[in-house]
Structure 1
Amino acid sequence: MSPTLLWFRKDLRLADNSALAAAIELGAPIVPVFIWAPEEAGAWAPGAASKWWLHQALKGLREELRAQGGELILREGTSLAELRDIIKTTGATRVLWNRRYESSLRELDAQVKRALREDGLQVESFNSSLLNEPHTAATGSGQPYKVYTPYWKKVKDRPLPPLALPDLPAMRFPESFPWSTPLESLNLLPAIPWYRGFETHWLPTEAAARGRLDQFLSAAVEDYATGRDRPDCDGTSCLSPYLHWGQIGPRQVMAALADRTDLAGAGASVYAKEIYWREFAYNVLYHFPHTPDQALRAEYDSFPWESDDAVLKAWQMGQTGYPIVDAGMRQLWQTGWMHNRVRMIVSSFLVKHLLHDWRAGAKWFWDTLVDADLASNTLGWQWSGGCGADAAPYFRVFNPILQGQKFDPEGAYVKRYLPELRKMPAKYMHVPWEAPDSILEYAGVEIGKNYPAPIIDHKVGRARALAALEQFKSA
């Protein structure tokens, strides 16, 4: 039989892979392909941290395929041109892939599908990254959802879709493969190895994703309803980067959750709602493709944002003088990831206390997060900016002092990422500028020297944010 070309993109796994399942069912030899074409994603091509993860994920997928007797063909260039070259070399008559939902990539896939079908090939696409594709959920009037709770009620009782490959059968491969670009030639790793810290925190493989899920379901899920808000504890699954690159899929997560927990239990039910929040993010991105660059609530595009490179840099580098904010930003820089509660704190601080455009924060996260997912990143930042779907009102300003005291009461999280405060007593951990001179001397902290003074007073920042809101409303 003529080969089937299997085009991998953001589905870098063998288990529960719908396109792979279809290819195996055909019975023909399979030619697995990945094409590095960042220009096709436009302004939202993968950032530096995502490229580090992608390098490791491709290496892992290649090893998995080799263990099965296959190979992963790597190419760089224009997707259609590279597919056509591989088709010509192998004599493939079918091309299969799993769907993407970002606007530019969705349009590209449609163009590729039309072109290849005009070439006489069989081309099919599948869903392997969502429980519910965006076109399957609409309001009673046929409109897309902009609020999470009605969306959740619409889809929560739908039967969970079955796994495409509960068990991986043997795959057929051709006797020889076309040429492949060396992984190192894709230049996904930066010349300066600033990412070394990532390697102590992450193993970006499909097997590691399953291991993370198993570990989470064995312990932390039970207390997830409260534990998810504590950055000082290991209370989350940390599956977001694996989900982003498709090394595990939501069907697998939900199937395991249903199998090993009571879905009505406090922890499991809250975790399930987080999986559906990711689904909601894709629903918004699909129906409102302009939102990565423009507010869903268009009036907020005229909000009186400020622009100060020095202030933005202080936030990026974790030098704001607010320990919970600075710990979060340094966790991001060191590990490529940030606890979700802290993401809300640092984004609120940038948008409200510092009055900087949510897009500046979204772009920084995009470049530094290993789980930089366009749908989730956009929804999260517009939530913080009060300008998106189901957004927090702009007048709700997180108090970084109280947030730190409530969710990192002993300062364990802060100490982990701000070693200059490691001897600060818990009483003053989140307000080191209020500590008596004797305490500061004991802790070795000099405010304004080895740890910055607050970049803005909390009360002043809150008042300024509310004043900007009133100016915006009256404009």
Structure 2
Amino acid sequence: MKKSINFFWFRRDLRLDDNVGFYEALKGNHPVLPIFIFDAEILEKLPEDDARVSFIYKTLQDMRTTLQEQHNSNIALFHGKPIDIFKDLVNKYDINTVYANHDYEPYAKERDEAIHSFLSENTIEFKTFKDQVIFEKDEIVKNDGNPYMVYTPYMKLWKATFRTLDLKSSPSETVLKHLIPTIDLPSLSLSDIGFKTSAQHIEPYTVTPVLIQEYEATRNFPAKDSTSRLGPHLRFGTVSVRKMVEKAIAEKNEIFWQELIWREFFMQILWHFPHTKDESFKPKYDRIEWRNNEDEFKAWCEGKTGYPLVDAGMRQLNETGFMHNRVRMLVGSFLCKHLLIDWRWGEAYFAEKLHDYDMASNVGNWQWVAGCGVDAAPYFRIFNPTTQIQKFDKDLNYIKKWVSDFQELTYPQPIVEHKFARERCLETYKAALN
């Protein structure tokens, strides 16, 4: 008779420490087999040298090495559609419970519902836990139970609620002895799943006391490059959000803390309003007659608009998979308002290129710059891409780094004149909204 075991399914929580679902699995009465599934539904849409896939693969290999060398254990790797993988696993193992952490994006919710239904039919429990956020779903809502659609009151209640919270750690790293000893587990190479190592790499994060203390003073200046680079690590769960919040509090930095809260604000918006992944939160904005000129979109993508700060941001993104947040706002506004190109085109391009792509934040921020989302910038707020240089890169250090040709004859003329584009945008938006 096969021995009954529990599974822990790693997803957006690629770490062995302070991992809630992993800890709960390891505290159970059965030995635990950790698994990771390279989801074919997701991977088939990505280029073969996608840096995020390389990062996930390397992270898993590092975790496997730690488990092999220190705990005589491992992580089983699979490639395919999750439901098909589980159908195979149910035949191979006597599974008591499958543990995982919550995932909130629309595709993930559908996937988990299908897995839950299948496991239930086979009398296997599926237990999931809150791990990648402090507050989720409808934990921070108005008195009437409706979600907040403006950030500031959400943030204030988030902080007030947090102060009453007994924030428990989940020291999964202390109970790894409950893992199944190393057996002949399936492994995969990058080429097995149709990928190759990316030339781009995801930077380690930097969250030092100095960075947190100086965050407010330095975060708007792209040449300083003083951001934490936490984005991909929060996205893939290689760092605990609880530990990051504790660091922000320890340094008494409200601004750094509030950036972490923005992330949860957009996540609860997407959870309450899943249609916003491809529809405007404010439906009347879907009446805007976007120009959607493909040549102009190509110039924007390639960083050839003739506006140096816009082009610097896009070239940085294309070369590194990262763009400074202040510049993200400018390039987004430029696409939607100067070129009148649908925010969904920009959102899809960022989804393809950004290492820290997270659907909730990406959709939320694109709808913000287009004016069509929750807590959005009013449509008549149109960034001037030239005066933004004076404010945020007056010595041109960022521009010189990424647009080396900006003072040469080969550099393109501005794709559109600012005053003309501004007036055209206002007229187009007014026509749609009135």
TM range (shorter): over 0.9
Note the C-alpha offset of 1:256. Answer: 2.3
Alpha-carbon spacing, 1:170–1:43, altered in 2? closer, same or farther (3 Å):
closer
**From 445, 463, 472, the counterpart of 2:423:** 463
Query: Any conservation in 2 of the 1:50–1:370 contact (CA below 8 Å)?
Result: yes
Alignment correspondent of 2:33: 31
Alignment correspondent of 1:69: 72
Q: Report matched runs for 1:209-224 at 5 Å.
A: 209=205, 212-213=206-207, 217-224=208-215
Unaligned runs of 5+ in 1: 263-267, 422-431, 433-444
Q: Give the Cα separation in 1 of the matches to 2:98 and 2:191.
A: 25
**From 79, 83, 107, the counterpart of 2:82:** 79
Query: Any conservation in 2 of the 1:220–1:235 contact (CA below 8 Å)?
Result: yes
Please state whether the residue corresponding to 2:36 is helix, strand or coil: strand
Note the C-alpha offset of 1:102. Answer: 0.9
Q: Give the Cα separation in 2 of the matches to 1:327 and 1:75.
A: 39
Please state whether the residue corresponding to 2:14 is helix, strand or coil: coil
Unaligned runs of 5+ in 2: none
Query: Any conservation in 1 of the 2:21–2:128 contact (CA below 8 Å)?
Result: yes
Alpha-carbon spacing, 1:189–1:47, altered in 2? closer, same or farther (3 Å):
closer
Q: Aligned letter for 2:282? A: R
Alignment correspondent of 1:366: 351
Q: Report matched runs for 1:355-394 at 5 Å.
A: 355-394=340-379
Counterpart check, 1:324 vs 2:309: yes
Alpha-carbon spacing, 1:466–1:134, altered in 2? closer, same or farther (3 Å):
same
Alpha-carbon spacing, 1:33–1:167, altered in 2? closer, same or farther (3 Å):
closer
Q: Give the Cα separation in 2 of the matches to 1:98 and 1:182.
A: 23
The Cα offsets for residues 140-182 of structure 1, whole Å up to 9 and x where unpaired, read as 2221121111211221122353221285343333345354241
Q: Aligned letter for 2:65? A: E
Q: Give the Cα separation in 2 of the matches to 1:337 and 1:228.
A: 15
Counterpart check, 1:184 vs 2:190: yes
Q: Give the Cα separation in 1 of the matches to 2:147 and 2:243.
A: 26
Q: Give the Cα separation in 2 of the matches to 1:46 and 1:247.
A: 22
Counterpart check, 1:245 vs 2:236: yes
Q: Give the Cα separation in 2 of the matches to 1:55 and 1:308.
A: 38
Query: Any conservation in 2 of the 1:55–1:189 contact (CA below 8 Å)?
Result: no
Alignment correspondent of 2:284: 299
Note the C-alpha offset of 1:46. Answer: 12
Alignment correspondent of 2:216: 225
Note the C-alpha offset of 1:462. Answer: 1.0
Alpha-carbon spacing, 1:239–1:353, altered in 2? closer, same or farther (3 Å):
same
Q: Give the Cα separation in 2 of the matches to 1:154 and 1:294.
A: 28
Q: Give the Cα separation in 2 of the matches to 1:63 and 1:20.
A: 18
Q: Aligned letter for 1:239? A: L
The Cα offsets for residues 82-117 of structure 1, whole Å up to 9 and x where unpaired, read as 124224323232210001001221122123123212
Q: Aligned letter for 2:405? A: E
Q: Report matched runs for 1:321-470 at 5 Å.
A: 321-421=306-406, 445-446=408-409, 450-470=410-430
Which of 118-127 and 370-379 deviates more? 118-127
Q: Aligned letter for 1:12? A: L
Alpha-carbon spacing, 1:221–1:142, altered in 2? closer, same or farther (3 Å):
same
Alignment correspondent of 2:98: 95
Q: Give the Cα separation in 1 of the matches to 2:46 and 2:151.
A: 25
Q: Give the Cα separation in 2 of the matches to 1:183 and 1:19.
A: 26
Aligned residues: 428
Q: Aligned letter for 1:335? A: T
The Cα offsets for residues 420-463 of structure 1, whole Å up to 9 and x where unpaired, read as 24xxxxxxxxxx5xxxxxxxxxxxx11xxx21111111111111
Alignment correspondent of 1:281: 266
Identity among equivalent positions (%) equals 34
Alignment correspondent of 2:112: 109
Please state whether the residue corresponding to 2:340 is helix, strand or coil: coil
Q: Give the Cα separation in 1 of the matches to 2:255 and 2:192.
A: 40
Q: Give the Cα separation in 2 of the matches to 1:133 and 1:46.
A: 33
Alpha-carbon spacing, 1:271–1:286, altered in 2? closer, same or farther (3 Å):
same
Q: Aligned letter for 1:162? A: K
Q: Aligned letter for 1:129? A: Q
Query: Any conservation in 2 of the 1:40–1:105 contact (CA below 8 Å)?
Result: no
TM-score normalised by the chain length of structure 1: 0.85
Note the C-alpha offset of 1:130. Answer: 0.7
Alpha-carbon spacing, 1:295–1:362, altered in 2? closer, same or farther (3 Å):
same
Alpha-carbon spacing, 1:341–1:164, altered in 2? closer, same or farther (3 Å):
same
Query: Any conservation in 1 of the 2:99–2:127 contact (CA below 8 Å)?
Result: yes
Alignment correspondent of 1:138: 141
Counterpart check, 1:151 vs 2:154: yes
Q: Give the Cα separation in 1 of the matches to 2:282 and 2:45.
A: 21
Query: Any conservation in 2 of the 1:152–1:276 contact (CA below 8 Å)?
Result: yes
Alignment correspondent of 1:162: 168
Q: Give the Cα separation in 1 of the matches to 2:49 and 2:140.
A: 31
Q: Give the Cα separation in 2 of the matches to 1:47 and 1:351.
A: 29
**From 10, 13, 16, the counterpart of 1:14:** 16
Q: Aligned letter for 2:245? A: M
Which of 123-132 and 66-75 deviates more? 66-75
Counterpart check, 1:57 vs 2:42: no
The Cα offsets for residues 208-260 of structure 1, whole Å up to 9 and x where unpaired, read as 44xx22xxx2322112113110101032111001100111132110122223x
**From 248, 252, 274, the counterpart of 1:257:** 248
